Amino acid sequence: MPSLRRRGREVQEAGGAPVAPDVPWALGPLLRDGAAALVARDVSGERLDVALVLGPEQATVRDAGIPAELIAALAAEAIDVRVVGEADVAGAAGADVVLAAGWPAAPAVLMLPDVRARAVLATTAAPVLGELGWATGVTLLGPAWMGGALPGGADAAYAPMPVHRREDLVLVHSEEPFGLLAAAELHARRADLTFAVSGARRDLDLPFEYLSVDPGGEALAHAFASATVALAPPVRGWRPAAVAMLVCGQAVVAPDDAAGRSALGPTAALAAGPLGAADLAEQLIADLELRAGRARAGFARVAGGWGATAAALAGAVRALP
């Protein structure tokens, strides 16, 4: 017969700590009772008081995948953001606006009483049991490729640099199969190309020799300003590598999916797979004018920094009902 034990007590007696499952527990009461009604009241003053509620097991906005630089930039837009942990969510009720740090935090925010306005700040996490409809109609604030309508941004480290851009250097960012397979195909086709790998482990065993790019924004910005063409991973989150590449004037080849089309538009070459990516990379390598045109389009599409994103986010937050 199976042994039945009280696991929490057993773990504590052994000197360990119970492991919390990745479950937004407020979702149960939300599904049962529905969201709390909003309260009509004026804002507290000229500066907007915004409470950002974190999700389970999150201690900082970075844990939620939201750029801390974006939140800090809201101060220049007359918005004061205070970060509230899930355990202290009741303290967010008096704010002018309550934002959930992604869908994991949304059930607790939707159940919170005495809230004037609320929304979800996008993260890569999807709504748990979203097929039940509880997330329908909830305002989502984020870049277009994350389901919102805000312009993209990039950290201050990413900017055009006065460095020589090589004519034979292919940069692969991350360990995604899309870019690595495309690079392997280019290596098989072209003996005259040099490869560099960034955003990956330094000890990768690859079928081609490569230069390893140090981690950190400054080193990545230098790489994005030096390569002839870059093979970018799929667009995800607030900080897609492909967007940072555009800010640095890099010619980009990226996966052709909905997020890539939304984030990059005509500024990047989009491919359905690695072989197509290798074809597009060769076109860019051979055509300096094409690369220059893509670089200009990238500069026009993404200004760099988080100022424009913060201004648009501030406008969206102030417009919440």
Mean of pLDDT values over 274-299: 96
Name every residue whose Cβ is closer than 8 Å to that of residue 286 and which is 6 or more positions away in sequence: none
Pairing of strands 252-255, 194-198: unpaired
Residues 286 and 268 sit within 8 Å (Cβ to Cβ): no
Q: What is the mean pLDDT of residues 258-274?
A: 97
Residue 1 has pLDDT above 70, yes or no: no
What does the pLDDT read at residue 45? 86
Nearest to 245 by CA among 199, 185, 201: 199
Q: Taking residues 186-199, what's their average pLDDT?
A: 98
Confidence at residue 182, expressed as pLDDT on a 0 to 100 scale:
98
CB 120 within 8 A of CB 141: yes
Exposure of 215 in the CB half-sphere (CA atoms within 13 A): 5
Q: Locate tokens 């005509």: which residue?
A: 266
Residue 97 exposure: Cα atoms within 13 Å on the Cβ side: 27
Question: Residue 10: its pLDDT value, please?
Answer: 57
- Mean pLDDT throughout 186-198? 98
> Per-residue pLDDT for 259 more than 70?
yes
Residue pLDDT, tens place only, 83-134: 999 899 999 989 999 999 999 999 999 999 999 999 999 999 999 999 999 9
Does the pLDDT value for residue 149 go beyond 90? yes
Tell me: pLDDT of 270 over 60: yes
Provide the pLDDT for residue 11: 52
Q: What pLDDT shows up at residue 44?
A: 82
Q: How many CA atoms lie within 13 A of 41 on its CB side?
A: 15
Q: What is the mean pLDDT of the chain?
A: 93
3-20 pLDDT, tens digit each: 556 655 555 555 667 887
Q: Which residue has the higher pLDDT, 3 or 45?
A: 45
State the average pLDDT over residues 230-256: 97
The pLDDT of residue 6 is: 62
Judge contact between 43 and 118, C-beta under 8 A. Answer: no
